[in-house]
């Protein structure tokens, strides 16, 4: 039997950076069609801000193994809609995931394939269980970077297609200084 080598890596709680991790950067221009207010999107595109960065430590896509990643999701809004991740189902849809909030303020939108949605607020210390089959997207509702760690099966994979096309049935916006979760006007079953 060939055993893999165990290892420890350092996560910097302030920056969210995991040493030696693979870094992925998502800018606004990578998220065309994701935000409801297209006019606000086009306007902000001139600056093309970084929306989030992911630091991932991933294994081969094998059953039984585990990946982990931090995400640094920056504060901001497109129109009234808070900065968010793309969101995805798992390619192997029955794979679950655990998120652990480290810094900042935000939450997770989850959704079943039938469009049933949930909003779970997150602050440092919040652990979110993402059950099998639920799509998940994180959203920064604060004014500093929202940083969290996620652990997920190495063979889970990311299925972005459905969310890219249809979005979530709910959106998270600021209204009169309040965080409001409301129906997505562009949602169709
Ligand atoms: O992949 P996104 O929906 O853009 O979310 C960004 C990232 O968030 C977390 O860190 C997950 O563990 C990653 O698997 C995911 O890639
Ligand atoms: Fe996931």
Contact call for residues 72 and 66 (beta carbons, < 8 A): no
Atom 16 of ligand 1, residue of closest alpha carbon: 54
Domain ranges, ordered by start, for the chain: 22-183
Give me the CATH code for the 22-183 domain, please. 2.60.120.10
Average pLDDT, integer, range 60-64: 94
* pLDDT digits 0-9 by tens, 96-146: 999 999 999 999 999 999 999 999 999 999 999 999 999 999 999 999 999
Q: Is 135 in the pocket of ligand 1 (CB under 6 A)?
A: no
Q: Tell me the ipTM for this assembly.
A: 0.96
d(CA 168, CA 155): 24
Q: Is the pTM of this model over 0.95?
A: yes
Mutate which of 16, 66, 69 for ligand 1? The one with the most ligand atoms within 8 Å of its CB, which is 69
Q: Ligand 1: distance of its center to the CA of 108 in Å?
A: 12
């Amino acid at each position: 039997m060939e055993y893999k080598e165990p290892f420890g890596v350092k996560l910097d709680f302030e920056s969210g950076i995991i040493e030696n991790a693979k870094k992925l950067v998502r800018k606004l221009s990578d998220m065309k069609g994701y935000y409801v207010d297209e006019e606000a999107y086009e306007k902000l595109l001139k600056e093309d801000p970084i929306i989030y960065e992911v630091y991932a430590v991933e294994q081969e896509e094998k059953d039984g193994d585990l990946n982990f990643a931090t995400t640094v999701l920056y504060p901001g809004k497109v129109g009234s809609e808070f900065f968010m991740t793309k969101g995805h189902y798992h390619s192997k849809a029955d794979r679950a995931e655990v998120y652990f909030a480290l810094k900042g303020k935000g939450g997770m939108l989850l959704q079943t394939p039938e469009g049933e949605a949930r909003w779970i607020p997150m602050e440092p210390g919040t652990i979110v269980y993402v059950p099998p089959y639920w799509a998940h997207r994180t959203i920064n509702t604060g004014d500093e970077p929202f940083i969290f760690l996620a652990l997920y099966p190495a063979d889970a994979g990311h299925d972005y297609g459905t969310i890219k096309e249809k979005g979530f049935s709910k959106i998270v916006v600021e209204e009169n200084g309040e965080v409001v979760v409301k129906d997505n006007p562009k949602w169709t079953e």
